[in-house]
Chains A and B, each alone.
Chain A
Amino acid sequence: MKVVIGHLYADLMNIYGDRGNIIALTRRAQWAGVEVEVRNLALGQTLDPREYDILFVGGGQDREQSLIADDLQKVKGGSIVEAVEDGAVVLAVCGGYQLLGKYFKTGEDVVLPGIGLFDAWTVAGNRRCIGDAVVECSFTGERRTLVGFENHSGKTYLGPAARPIGKVLHGFGNNAEDGFEGAVYKNAYGTYLHGSILPKNAWLTDHLIASALRRRYGQNIVLPPVDAGLEERAHRAVIARIRGRGKMNTGAI
């Protein structure tokens, strides 16, 4: 089996160790015996929605974000939506997440249009949400936690057609108001968590890889178990530190 990963704007959207997500997907797929090909999708490059199993886009600075907003509108947006409708996996972090929603209104009141994959919109906030975050999720059918680090001033709000990725147990989440984090639509996930997010949340990495394989090779594909001892230890260490400071909201953990 093989997965093809498209790394959108790898040169521009990479400010929070986003490469770690590509490394995590690649290694864990390889450890499960799956062949991996990573292709960079730069400004101006088109993509065939059927060719890609997983698309990833990371975070960027303001200057980069307006460049890619334009490219998403003119070049790639339609193909990304089409891929997701067809079951492809997408992971979008921070700035990338914002532009997969309907729009992002910046601090200068400029509206950057998004591609509307998520029923969500973002407005610039006046304080930065920075720090470790813990989110409780159940979209796989099991209760799980995500740990990561968030650093954003944009506040994202979800419309009725979007589901959040989970409930914030510690940190700010989408908008520091409603207690939810991220957005999920089919196999597309948007989140503010970096860290990078995938290495310390190996269950999510495996879930993304398995979802991609099922789309291409059939629903009964099961990913062989891959060791995640060290990753889970690092995951638990973050939770234990936050809990040690007495700062965790009540949750299942």
Chain B
Amino acid sequence: MRLAAAIVAGKLVASLSRRLNFGGGTTLPGGITRRIDPGALGKMTGRLRQGCVVVTGTNGKTTTTRMISNMLQVAGLKPVHNRSGANLVSGVTSALLNSSSITGRPGGDIGLFEVDEANLPLVVAEAKPTVVVINNLFRDQLDRYGEIDYIAGLWRKALRQLPSSARVVLNADDPLVASLGKSLAASVLYFGIEDERYGRATLEHAADSKSCVSCGARYAYAVAFYGHVGKYSCPNCGAKRPIPDLGADSISLNGTVGAELLMRGPQGPLNVRLGLPGMYNVYNALAAAATGLALGLPLEDVKAGIEGFSAAFGRIERIQIEDKLIFLALVKNPIGFNEVLRTILLDGAQKDLLIVINDNIADGTDISWLWDVDFEVLQTRTRRVVVAGTRAEDMAVRLKYALVDPSKVEIEKDLPRALHAGLAGVEKEGTLYVLPTYTAMLEVREVIQRLGYVGKFWQD
């Protein structure tokens, strides 16, 4: 009875919120429902026939979750999924609420939730997931969460609550994430990259977890793929990267277009053609595939799910505007920003960029991380950079100190004008690379949408 009342109230708020154009009603309704019935989330997930999957990590949550969603649908399942990316416990509750009947029967057979890093313990405790997926842990929005060791501690505690029937999918190549697999009742499935050709011999500046989780000595890296993710070992205590259950061999990166890779898992090899660029998306695909295996999905469904995937909203998007293309990629921390720069610069041509840096709460109010991004790579490979956002001036200063020619850099605080300025500089059939932080991305999409080019995000 209480659940029913909570659901009715939540649904009402969701409907009002959409009608009054407050957005998709992706967070508030869940909050209301939880206020009325604090046990609502657990009651609703308890009615999911196939249980639920929870995905977290600093980078790639939305993309990985959407790949998994595709896979589940190919396999004939109907996921209840917080697609909009509202990933606090209220957002997860909202997703279930929106899909469920008034009596609380969910409108699907498996839950699929991307979950904010700090919300994982609460979601694990309430939703009792059957699979938990953790892709990576980087420095992100320290002002919001505190330090990465603190987050790792939260996760460790949460994972130890899982029963032996649960499965945990972890990135073997991220030392802090891999270390979470120790002393769990749940069984662990590791994924990682074996092919060393795209790795580097040294860590990039922005790398975070450089010292051994067990003894504090500095890890030795045979190869680093990005950030602190790579093949590491501790020269002092001998701690090593676990051997991945699902490994990627023969990777071939194809510029901003995509990648091909050979996955090797317990059920045999799998050739996958990925429609997303960069090494970080190879990891997202591996995390998704490993989750598919943990759920016992057939290999061909895993493959079809990944290959049929188009980018999650705004993470990477290509939008045709008349005779020009906008390539939109979210940037939210040094590691991610470096990967995006590396990916768009792969072909060596001169680029036109629009960088939009906001410092709202959802972006992280501290923008000092811009100094950890290697913007120096832009020195020789930019035609023009327009900078916008609440912190446009900081971005311009960063480019000055990265020795990007100041005559190529333009500050334009007004976003529509910045977008026009960016596009105006691009030649016919050329591309404007738009790199916004999270709230800036929402604004960019809104501006583009007013021009009539993309749909509202909670509908896709």
Contacts and interface: CB of A to CB of B under 8 A. Distances in A.
B264 interface: no
Nearest to B208: A15
B109 interface: no
Given A19-B371, A20-B368, 7 more contacts: A20-B398, A23-B401, A131-B365, A194-B366, A194-B368, A199-B371, A237-B393
Contacts of B149: 61-63
Given A62-B147, A234-B396, A237-B393, A149 B205 contact: no
A113 B210 CA distance: 25
Nearest to B203: A11
Interface of A: 11-12, 14-20, 23-24, 27, 61-64, 67, 128, 130-132, 149, 151, 194-196, 199-200, 230-231, 233-234, 237, 241
B365 A199 contact: no
A151 B143 contact: yes
Interface of B: 139, 142-143, 146-149, 205, 210-211, 216, 218, 365-372, 390, 393-394, 396-398, 400-401, 403, 406, 411
Main secondary structure of the interface of B (DSSP, over half): helix
Contacts of B396: 230, 233-234
Contacts of A14: 372
A234 B142 contact: no
Contacts of A15: 139, 142, 147
B142 A16 contact: yes
Given A27-B401, A61-B148, A200-B397, A11 B368 contact: no
A14 B371 CA distance: 10
B372 A234 contact: no
A20 B371 contact: yes
A64 B216 CA distance: 9
A61 B148 CA distance: 8
B368 A61 contact: no
Contacts of B146: 128
B397 A195 contact: no
Nearest to A131: B365
A210 to B, nearest CB: 19
B307 to A, nearest CB: 39
B397 A17 contact: no
Given A17-B372, A149-B368, A199-B371, A61 B401 contact: no
A12 B393 CA distance: 29
Contact of B397 (A19, A63, A234): A234
A18 B368 CA distance: 8
B397 A231 contact: yes
Contact of A199 (B369, B401, B406): B401
B150 to A, nearest CB: 8
